[in-house]
């Protein structure tokens, strides 16, 4: 089940994360829920593109986002500011 992403009052930065290893809806949902569990994050996961679009209401270190995804067993191929 997908959790509801938090609403952000303002967006400080938007990041695009390319993710490897997601193959099904269950994978997309796991990444979606993990990213949206981070305070100040509103994320969308585009599984067929293998990417997450992450909006943040504060600065969040790339390492925190990468760790959140890699702990699930997926690869982060790239991360960049939009």
Which domains are seen in the chain, by residue range?
13-76 (3.30.70.100)
CA–CA separation, 59 vs 46, rounded Å? Answer: 22
pLDDT reported for residue 5: 83
Question: What's the predicted TM-score (pTM) here?
Answer: 0.93
Per residue of the chain (82 residues), what is the pLDDT tens digit?
Answer: 888 887 899 999 999 999 999 999 999 999 999 999 999 999 999 989 999 999 999 999 999 999 999 999 999 999 999 9
pLDDT reported for residue 7: 87
Would strands 13-20 and 41-46 be described as parallel, antiparallel, or unpaired?
Answer: unpaired
CB 11 within 8 A of CB 54: no
pLDDT reported for residue 38: 96
Helix H segments across the chain?
25-36, 62-70
């Amino acid at each position: 089940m997908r959790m509801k992403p938090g609403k952000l009052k303002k967006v400080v930065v938007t990041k695009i994360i390319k993710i490897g290893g997601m193959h099904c809806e269950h994978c997309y949902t796991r990444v979606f829920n993990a990213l949206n569990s981070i305070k100040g994050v509103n994320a969308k996961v585009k599984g067929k593109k293998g990417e997450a679009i992450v909006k943040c209401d504060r600065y969040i270190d790339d390492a925190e986002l990468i760790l959140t995804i890699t702990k699930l067993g997926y690869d982060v191929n790239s991360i960049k500011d939009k």
